[in-house]
Amino acid sequence: MGGKVYFVASPELVNAMIKSRSLSFDPVLRSTIAKLFTISKEGVRKYVDPSIGLETRWTKNFYGCLNGVQLKEINKAVLTDVFRQLDELPDEVNVDDSWLWLRDKLSFASTAAMLGRDNPFCAHPSLVDDYWYVDNKLVHFALGPAPWMTAPSAWMARNRIHHALIQYTKEKKHDADDVSALWKGSYDLLHEFGFSESDIAAFLQATLQAALFNTIPTFNWYFVHIWSDPSLVFRLREEVSGVVAESLELRGDGKREMTMNMAKIEERCPLLVAAFHENLRTVAEGAFNRVVMEDTIISNGKGGQEYLLKKGNNLMASQSIIHVSEEHWGSQAGGFDPTRFSKDTGVPGESESHIKPGTYVPFGGGKHLCPGRHFASMEIWGMMIALLLSFDITDAEGRTLTVPERTMPTMTSGIGRPVAGTDLRLKLSRRKDWNNITWKVDMA
């Protein structure tokens, strides 16, 4: 991006950075998608040209389709698929690699919810492996002048996904009834502006990247943080039972139907929500960037030090510094403690209003606040509740899980992965009275 780079670390300056209308992530995003995905120069030109207006409508489509009724529809779709996968598990499950197991469950559910069940990832599961292989190598695309030479396997894997999405749209599978409004709206918008089939597929590939790359690692660490603490598991099971109701009648197949009311989670499951936020605080370690669009002054607050940021330069803040600062989070800032996200009354998760602005920013903020945060959180909460109530989970030897060491995130991801070579074996056993059930989701 060129120019100087300003770096801020105080919560007051981070908060000012987020709120400023003259500091923008858009130039960073434009530059990034052009490098990471196979979008033609003409496609990039159309997207960024303000006289065409596509970028504004693209953003509006994203935010619009991840709110209200359409958000409920895609959340219901993803959880319906998650629950289907969990219902189909045997009473005893031995997992060789918990990261891969959870990764694949959520990847298939997310792609089905977005693209419909008749999608290339469900038809060809190796494409999920391709996606995550590319995700791990994206830094070569972001920085390298010749990723086809420095990361040839990732280059070919990215192309396989791209070609599969071209074929998907050629066969009009995006018109199916179970395809999300987000996916249909994105396709229709690009088609309206005359984009080629190749560029449409590349933009849809970018949309998929946004949906998966941090959501699934977030769930992985949420999972191990919770299951490494038996007392937390016990308390959560009691709490989440308040959003689950059993049908009075048996289904035709003899199974008991358990309905999860997602609309009541934030009201009735404060500890589950608090643990979610604490998990993000501990694992979200990325940096977020803004470009100074015009000379801008930010300050440390009323009467505080002021700083002049010159147009054309870049401003960065690091979550890894903000989220584990002992000054703001206490001497045990590096530990996992859901009660941090509790009111002074000690009731977990009732409100995060006491958290100082600028000290907790996993979703960015301001005009660039992550549009998919509600989609991700509902998916994560729903799967966690189903696992908590349905299974006892231990390591391969029957012991309580331990939290594995985490890699540092790359510049293209905000959350690390389990360190290679770690023993991630799991054993899942259905709990007594939960071995003949089927899950249903209620978004009302």
When pLDDT is cut at 50, 70 and 90, the band that residue 93 belongs to is: very high
pLDDT tens for 144-162 read: 889 999 999 999 999 999 9
When pLDDT is cut at 50, 70 and 90, the band that residue 1 belongs to is: low
Domains detected in the chain: 37-285+323-442 (1.10.630.10)
Range in 237-251, 339-353, 371-385 with the lowest mean pLDDT: 339-353
pLDDT at 352 over 60: no
Distances (CA, A) of 274 to 352, 353, 415: 8, 12, 19
pLDDT the model gives residue 343 = 61
pLDDT the model gives residue 302 = 74
- pTM for this model (two decimals): 0.94
What residue numbers does the annotated binding site for heme cover? 370
In angstroms, the CA 364 to CA 378 distance is 18
pLDDT the model gives residue 2 = 60
pLDDT the model gives residue 349 = 40
What residue numbers does the annotated binding site cover? 370
pLDDT tens for 262-273 read: 999 999 999 999
Q: Which residues pair with 246 in a beta bridge?
A: 258
- Return the ∠ at Cα 398 (arms to 393 and 402), rounded to 5°: 70
Mean pLDDT, to the nearest integer, of 8-22?
92
Mean pLDDT, to the nearest integer, of 320-324?
91
pLDDT at 350 over 70: no
pLDDT at 353 over 60: no
What percent of the chain has a predicted confidence (pLDDT) above 70?
A: 97
pLDDT at 364 over 90: no
**Most confident of the following: 4-8, 165-169, 285-289:** 165-169
pLDDT at 348 over 50: no
Mean pLDDT, to the nearest integer, of 67-82?
97
Closest CA to 211 of 98, 74, 323: 74
pLDDT the model gives residue 366 = 82
In angstroms, the CA 148 to CA 98 distance is 31
Q: Which run of H or of E encompasses 429?
A: strand 426-430
pLDDT the model gives residue 137 = 93
Range in 178-187, 276-285, 291-300, 341-350 with the lowest mean pLDDT: 341-350
